[in-house]
A = this chain, B = another copy of it.
Amino acid sequence: MNSRSTDIDGLNAALDGYLAALDCPEALRAAMSYSVGAGGKRLRPALLIAASGGDPDAVPFACAVELIHTYSLIHDDLPAMDDDDLRRGKPANHKIFGEWAAILAGDGLLNLAYEVMIGFCAGRLEPRFLAAADEIARAAGAGGMVGGQYADMESERVVADLSRVLYIDARKTGALITAAIAAGAIVSGAVGEALDRFRKLGRKLGLAFQIKDDLLNAAGDPAKLGKPVGTDGAAGKATYVSLAGEKQAAADYERLSRDIIEMIDFLPEGHALRDVVGRALFREH
């Protein structure tokens, strides 16, 4: 078993433990557990733990970002939002448990992320832990992921250009990926310029990740490419790929990937983040 699977096994065990410890209706626990266990790649927690250099104290924060990511997927899939029936190849939460249960499962998971972080910080009163929680909290909220999802939903009815799509991507996907990397670095003791390098890496990786995702979606659904967007409510959401074109987007992705590989040169040889970033860039999503 390599260090990666050990990390992820430990993370999954910690997530299961937090869910099991809740004194809540069993059916609510089932709805929350379904999406936490539904085959996510654990990219964000893997980035966080790797950025911390494998510090065991990073695990509660890694769990928190995964809980936040999972809640956001449940709420994004709701009929009133993106109305997706499938998530990670399985029925979306609301398709199994119903709409009100999915809303509450999402609320419960978001809250649990903070129960986990605050509970840990209360037991270990260290500035680095509060700073890590602060980084994650700001990234998850209206100034980050929630605001990005809002702007993304808005773009179904407003004219979108590339700068707007970059605004959305930086918040909806980029903010939590950046915060995961930064929070891990903070747990390892990074501050000031060293920490800013991690944040910059996170922003580039978040954008690369989103473009790759858009490219894969477009490849899976040719209708998404070149579709006129933003001119009426029915046109669907603009993406980096739909606006820049597939060729330009692929070229931009290559350039970003090279930038990122150069950027991680500041990390010591053998640092776990090199490996996780590489996998994030070159995997098939």
Q: Which residues of A approach B to under 8 Å, CB–CB?
A: 22-25, 27-29, 32, 71, 75, 78-81, 98-101, 103-104, 106-108, 110-112, 114-115, 117-119, 121-122, 125-127, 130-131, 133-134, 137-138, 140-143, 146-147, 149-151, 153-154
Contact = CB atoms under 8 A, between A and B. Distances in A.
Given A107-B107, A119-B138, 18 more contacts: A22-B142, A24-B143, A24-B146, A24-B147, A29-B142, A79-B80, A80-B98, A100-B153, A104-B153, A106-B107, A107-B146, A115-B134, A115-B138, A118-B137, A119-B134, A122-B127, A122-B131, A125-B130
B112 A114 contact: no
Given A125-B125, A127-B122, A134-B118, A101 B150 contact: yes
B78 A103 contact: yes
A107 B104 contact: no
B118 A25 contact: no
B111 A141 contact: yes
Contact of A147 (B81, B108, B117): B108
A17 to B, nearest CB: 14
B81 A100 contact: yes
Contact of A118 (B98, B106, B118, B154): B118
A115 B146 CA distance: 13
Contacts of A137: 111, 114-115, 118-119
Contacts of A27: 150, 154
